Amino acid sequence: MLEKQILEMRMKAIDRRLSEIDAKLPSLGDDSYVHQELSSERVDLVRDRNVADLRLREIRGEAQSDPHQASRIAEDNKRREKLIQREIKSRLEVGEAFVAKLESQGEIQQARIHRRALLDIPTEVMREFS
């Protein structure tokens, strides 16, 4: 499933929950615990929706009206890419050291299994950080 589709599904779920909250809030007293909790949840959901909406716009390539925001987004993407590359490198180094240790102990089959797992590290990291 593409990131765009995931974000769209997330926004629909958030919108659905926001409409449920908006329907319940007027019937509750402003001082009630439930009202406070629902109001707090609503604030969190609106914030999450705004984040998802901003990311969707980035994916769609919609022009940014603020050139500073566009440069911040580019800087954030560069930082994220560097972080991902460092994480991949770190995990590969640790994994390779573990494979070498297994081989030195004569655990050839386990070393082979872990060496195969090293191939999946870049994909796993990209999934975690995206």
Neighbouring C-alpha atoms within 13 Å toward the C-beta of 115: 11
What pLDDT sits at residue 83?
87
Per-residue pLDDT of the chain (130 residues; tens, 9 = 90+): 477 788 888 889 999 999 988 998 888 877 888 888 888 888 988 998 998 898 888 888 754 556 677 777 778 888 888 888 899 999 999 999 999 999 999 998 998 999 999 989 888 888 887 7
Q: What is the pLDDT of residue 66?
A: 62
pLDDT at 67: 67
pLDDT given at position 35? 84
What is residue 63's predicted lDDT score, i.e. its pLDDT? 47
Domain boundaries, the chain: 1-62, 68-130
Rounded Cα gap, residues 47 and 108, in angstroms? 51
What is the per-residue DSSP string for 53-65? HHHHHHHHTPPPS
Instruction: Write the CB contacts of 60 (distance below 8 Å, at least 6 apart in sequence).
Output: 4
